[in-house]
Amino acid sequence: MRSRSTVVIGGGIIGLSVAWELTRRGHGVTVLEKETDWAAHQTGHNSNVVHAGLYYKPGSFKARMSVAGNQSIVEFAKDNGVPVEVCGKLVVATSEAELPALGVLAERAEANGVPAKLIGADEAREYEPEVACVRALRVESTGIIDFPAVCRALVRLLEEAGADLRLGTPARGIRAGALGGVEVATGSEVLRADSLVNCAGLQSDRVARLAGLTPRARIVPFRGEYYELRPDRRHLVRGLIYPVPDPSLPFLGVHLTRMLDGSVHAGPNAVLALRREGYRWSDISVGDLAEVARFGGAWRLARKYAYPIGLDEVRRSFSKRRFAASLAKLVPAVGPDDIVRHGSGVRAQALLPDGSMVDDFLIESAPNQVHVLNAPSPAATSALEIAKYVATEVEAS
């Protein structure tokens, strides 16, 4: 029997995981990545944290896939020589006012089946001697990993299995095939396959439109900027220290994360990126900005968050002192002289016309097509689980 063929657009962790899952199921797979290397965007510019799954609404894709993904990505890493360490983390309430939200988080962890325990300040300081806290949630299953190395391992497995992997190959046109299936134009040739999977991250809504869909949600790019602790101040943080998140915001708040190489990253904040793949304020795309400006959802979002939250984020982006002050809420010994800039990443966040951010992962199917339209954090943690779901959708499409 002829094996089914699939073109996967996007060589980040989701595209490569989908390609690997389909390959394991006997599909012939072609992966198209427009950049000259794998994991060039979100996957290569993130916090490298294997999330435990405590934040997400019980029963949601995010909750189910991150809890399962927490196990499967660690197992995959161990089986394939990828560096990983399950070191646990602390979520710290730094004032009495944050205790109710910390309690809600503990309940959510329990509902999602994530082992977590509320501890007092003294016990928290046994984990993190420098932390400021009145109470904390200790989560054991959070880990640190090297997501680009996960991608390299997936590429190796795919190559060994004979998959067709193409770097520097953007998908430029998509249409239904004359004899069924799909045709994908790359500029230099037209590829024919039974099905298509869109894992284009920051470009996923555009790729969906290229394929004839009219997705309701648009991608709005939010940059997250990082600092790192100077080497002689790394001792201030032993593991991962997170604030109690504001439930009305989709991001977790700036946190301190020890990386596998012993460095300690601080961030990310969240500011609107002026280009979809814009890693600095000077990266500006008039076209991308015009698209945001034409989208009513962006204006509704701005009305809700621009003042004071958005403005404060922009101020903090330009002020090391403000950034350090946010970190000092968690670890008071951290000052502006202790941190140096350390790159940034851009989140692909799907936004609805009513100005609300799509909270859960969003995956839509059409005949012979599956589109991953919202895969923000914790999608890297959940990649192998998202891939199983997408592969089943491909087989059903």
Residue 371 within binding range of ligand FAD, rule CB under 6 A: no
Taking the complex as a whole, the smallest distance from the CB of residue 208 to ligand FAD amounts, in Å, to 11
Among 301, 380, 384, 394, indicate the residue that binds ligand FAD (CB under 6 A). 380
C-alpha to C-alpha distance for 280 and 225, rounded to whole angstroms: 9
Angle at 61 between CA 57 and CA 65, to 5 degrees: 105
Piece of the chain touching ligand FAD by CB under 6 A; list 35-43, 284-292, 308-316, 325-333: 35-43
The reply on whether position 43 binds ligand FAD by CB under 6 A is yes
CB of 362 to ligand FAD, least distance (A): 11
End-to-end Cα separation, the chain, in angstroms = 19
283 part of the interface to ligand FAD, by CB under 6 A: no
Element housing 181 (H / E): none
Interface with ligand FAD, residue 6, by CB under 6 A: no
Number of residues that bind ligand FAD (CB under 6 A): 42
Tokens 């600095």 sit on residue? 280
- Cα 359 from Cα 56, distance rounded (Å): 9
Per-residue contact string for residues 251-270; x = within reach of ligand FAD by CB under 6 A: -----------------x--
Q: Strand 116-120 to strand 182-185: parallel, antiparallel, or no bridges (unpaired)?
A: unpaired
Within residues 50-89, the interface with ligand FAD by CB under 6 A covers 51
User: What does the alpha-carbon distance between residue 183 and residue 180 come to, in Å, rounded to a whole number?
Assistant: 9
- 81 contacts 115 by C-beta, under 8 angstroms: no
Tell me which residue has its CB nearest to ligand FAD: 12
The 204-223 site mask, x for binding ligand FAD (CB under 6 A), equals ---x----------------
- Pinpoint the alpha helices (H) of the chain: 13-24, 61-79, 99-111, 121-127, 147-160, 204-210, 286-294, 296-305, 311-318, 320-330, 383-396
User: Least distance from C-beta 392 to ligand FAD, angstroms?
Assistant: 18
User: Of 98 and 277, which has the nearer Cβ to ligand FAD?
Assistant: 277
Among 42, 94, 141, 269, binds ligand FAD (CB under 6 A): 42
Query: Quick check: 105 binds ligand FAD (CB under 6 A)?
Result: no
CA angle (343, 94, 103) in 5-degree steps:
105
Binding residues for ligand FAD (CB under 6 A) = 9-15, 32-35, 39-43, 45-49, 51, 170-171, 199-203, 207, 224, 268, 345-347, 375-381
